[in-house]
Structure 1
Amino acid sequence: MPAAPAAGATMKKFLLFTRDNDIRLLFLGQEYFRALVAAFDAARNEILLETYIFADDETGQNISAALIRAKARGVAVRVITDGVGTGKLPYFDHWRENGLTHRVYNPHLFGKFGFSRTHRKLVVVDRERAFVGGINIIDDLNGGPGVKLPEPRWDFAVQCRGPIVEEVTAAFEHQWMRLTPGYLGHPFRLLRQGWRGRLGAHVGQAAFVARDNLTNRRAIEKTYLRALGRAREAVWLANPYFIPGRKLRSALTQAAQRGVAVHLLIGRKEFHLLDTAVPWLYAKLLDAGVRIAEYDQRQLHGKVAVVDDVWATVGSSNLDALSLFLNHEANVVILDDPLVTELRTHIRDAFEGARRIDPDRFGKRSAVRRLRQWLAYRAYRVVMKLLTFGRYD
């Protein structure tokens, strides 16, 4: 069987990669929020921010204050929040009083956009700098009402400068227009899923990929499938909510069967249903040689992957039905950049500190445990089939 081409080689034909991007990895919320506040305080013309959660806590207050300071200097500030992820906050009135422009995506559980949410975390400053990742505007230790996490969430974002910022800006503008009263069409160009120019081994190759329920329905899933299909040496994948469809599961097992060292790091102890349902998928993955570890040292919230130390992705998309088939999501894909090995080190270190799933012991689990896992998985599958109108497979 001929060797598969490197992950990066195939992706260049699928996504719009640009070069000469300066991309910096941001690990944990504290580093991300410092970078955001610094960017907001340096802004001259415009700030665009889209997030799923904008919490009413110390972090949210600091970010809100930085936005208001920018507006007071004459910077145009536009904010999109999700109707369920954020809800109604005292900030909203304060923003309006200070001249910020704010729109809410799908204010109710079921609305104009069905059940979908905007789960994206995007920031653009002066159309020169962009932030994309999985980190919400919420304290690192805020685990929800009355819950304080013992350790900061394990999560990532990237700060980008260069041509990729244009794509992030276009995604925000398209979303902003969707939320315009009376919006019917697509006045802004759609994100281009093509390729620009010939890219050799050049630092700063990156592409922005977003999914929606219009024209880019499977964009992020296809990005993963192409990379996994071309993996030759190693895959490091970390995700908190791992219940992908059959295609992604098949891509992981096929990579392992080709001799690729596939490492799957899965978050635990956030949602009991998922903790019970996800292990039902382990058997076939383990049989194929996939190495699985469950991480519970802190809340794993990062949605990241590295293939062959060449290809990496950082973003908001979980590998579950909601992210892959319903919600609006956004990831950045990076090629041939030092950031790739930096991210791999983070995932590897977390994997080594996590609890490995032993194939033999897992295969000997009790019949009662197997039944609970099967029932939880089937319940999840039925609900997701309904919510995604049958698209979840």
Structure 2
Amino acid sequence: MSVGGARRFARLRQALLGRRYWQRYRFTSGNDVKLLCAGDEFFRALIARVDAAQSDVVLETYIFENDHAGQAVSAALLRAVARGVKVRVITDGIGTERLPMFNDWLAAGIEHRIYNPHIFGRFGFSRTHRKLAVIDDQFGYCGGINIVDDYENNGAKLPYRRWDFAVELHGPVVADIRQAFEVQWQRIRLGHRPLDSLEPQGGPKTAASLGSLRRRRRRRNEELWAGGQPCVAFVARDNLINRRAIEKAYLAAIGQARNEVLLANPYFMPGRKLRRALVFAARRGVVVKLIVGRKEFKALDYAVPFLYRALLKAGVQIAEYEKTMLHGKVAVVDSNWATVGSSNLDALSLVLNNEANVVLVNDPSIGALREAILVAFKDSRRIDEARYDARPAGERLLNWLAYTSYRAVMKLLTVGGYD
């Protein structure tokens, strides 16, 4: 590592170690990370691991479609359970329809639970938007890819496959993904998050034991960061103890950026803190590039541009991706920090839904992700500040109305949590 890189690591480490959310997740070393680009790579890898499974497969997803991709994954799950592997699946009650294949799962012995079957259910308006899988406690998956064909979108054919990512993980971090699934599995059964599952480590959950656990985790994180070695953290957002974990991970990384911040997200409607962090980064000379998805939800297409003015004035470079559906939720900071996951940068993901990201530090896969974001930025339509300022008055009014309406609805749904 270069001297400059070591100094950036030291600054970021110092900023992160003082924050409470270190108590909510842990960094581990000794993990193998494989970046998977779009569904084709993800489904091939997942199905191969499921077909090789010997004891246990768990999978959680927001969308499980009855299309070519969904049928292929379902067939792999059925083959696994037929040879004696225990298979459990969680789907979301709104994201996934009641599919005929669910009856096949039940008959074959696959255990299936649905998170929040109704729009307003036991867990309020929240959804499980996570995309997770663990096979034999050896291989874990996390990212933004649903179980849906790469080229299908609500019955329409996409011109190119979705722009999306997941990671395959092998190593200590897999235990944290498995723990998150188990908590969700029991939560669906009991209607709340079990108190004995608040932390990934075992043992009695007294105040003293939790404090000791957090101190040990902090020391371990300090050792990893001080050494500058590759490490990975699994970061789950829920509505109990990890309410702001993903947002705070973004804030800390952007706040310590010195050279470059690359963000790509389909739904860019973050609160003031995250927008302010991007503005401050650009003002201190950091190259900030933001790629925003388009043409999936009309309301957001009108609302999101309202946020561009302050960002453009600060020097943030903004581009709208229209080549195909941008579904990836990824970021790279200073080429040594990255995140891949399910969390959009909007009120629902950051404040309400169950989400899951992985944070990578100094991992070799970061370079490939950075290159993919830069290529997508070149393929996108750049927002010109002068042209943006020259928008017709009617368009400006429409942007303001859409943003104000969105903010009011999100404030209501998140009980004031969205700022």
**TM-score, length basis structure 2:** 0.90
DSSP 3-state at the match of 1:385: helix
> 1:333-366 CA distances to partner (integer Å, 9 max, x unpaired)?
0011111111000000100111111111111111
Residue 349 of structure 2 aligns with an amino acid whose one-letter code is S
Q: What is aligned with 1:91?
A: 101
In 2: Cα distance, 1:283 partner to 1:133 partner: 30
In 1: Cα distance, 2:319 partner to 2:334 partner: 19
Q: What is aligned with 1:230?
A: 256
Report the alpha carbon displacement of residue 7 of structure 1 after superposing the two structures with TM: 3.9
DSSP 3-state at the match of 2:291: strand
Q: What is aligned with 2:114?
A: 104
Q: What is aligned with 2:197?
A: 188
> 1:282-331 CA distances to partner (integer Å, 9 max, x unpaired)?
00000011010001001000000000001000000000000001000000
- Are residue 350 (structure 1) and residue 359 (structure 2) matched? no
Residue 360 of structure 1 aligns with an amino acid whose one-letter code is A
In 1: Cα distance, 2:368 partner to 2:16 partner: 20
Report the alpha carbon displacement of residue 184 of structure 1 after superposing the two structures with TM: 6.6
- Are residue 389 (structure 1) and residue 419 (structure 2) matched? no
Q: What is aligned with 1:137?
A: 147
Q: Is the 8 A contact 1:232 1:308 kept in 2?
A: yes
Unaligned runs of 5+ in 1: none
In 1: Cα distance, 2:72 partner to 2:48 partner: 11
Which of 237, 261, 272 lines up with 1:246 in the alignment?
272
Q: Is the 8 A contact 2:183 2:193 kept in 1?
A: no
Q: What is aligned with 2:185?
A: 176
Report the alpha carbon displacement of residue 187 of structure 1 after superposing the two structures with TM: 2.3
In 2: Cα distance, 1:182 partner to 1:131 partner: 26
In 2: Cα distance, 1:215 partner to 1:189 partner: 8
Unaligned runs of 5+ in 2: 1-6, 202-213
Quick check: 180-189 or 46-55, which moved more? 180-189
Report the alpha carbon displacement of residue 33 of structure 1 after superposing the two structures with TM: 0.3
Q: How does 1:303-314 map to 2 (within 5 A)?
A: 303-314=329-340
Residue 17 of structure 1 aligns with an amino acid whose one-letter code is F
Which of 41, 45, 48 lines up with 1:35 in the alignment?
45
Q: What is aligned with 1:77?
A: 87
Q: Pick closer, same or farther for the CA change 1:273–1:184 going to 2, 3 Å.
A: closer
Q: Pick closer, same or farther for the CA change 1:57–1:115 going to 2, 3 Å.
A: same
- Are residue 23 (structure 1) and residue 10 (structure 2) matched? no
Q: How does 1:133-282 map to 2 (within 5 A)?
A: 133-144=143-154, 146-181=155-190, 185-191=194-200, 194-195=217-218, 196=220, 198-199=223-224, 200-201=226-227, 204-282=230-308
Aligned length: 390
Q: Pick closer, same or farther for the CA change 1:366–1:230 going to 2, 3 Å.
A: same
> 1:85-128 CA distances to partner (integer Å, 9 max, x unpaired)?
00211111110100000000000010000000000000000001
**TM-score, length basis structure 1:** 0.96
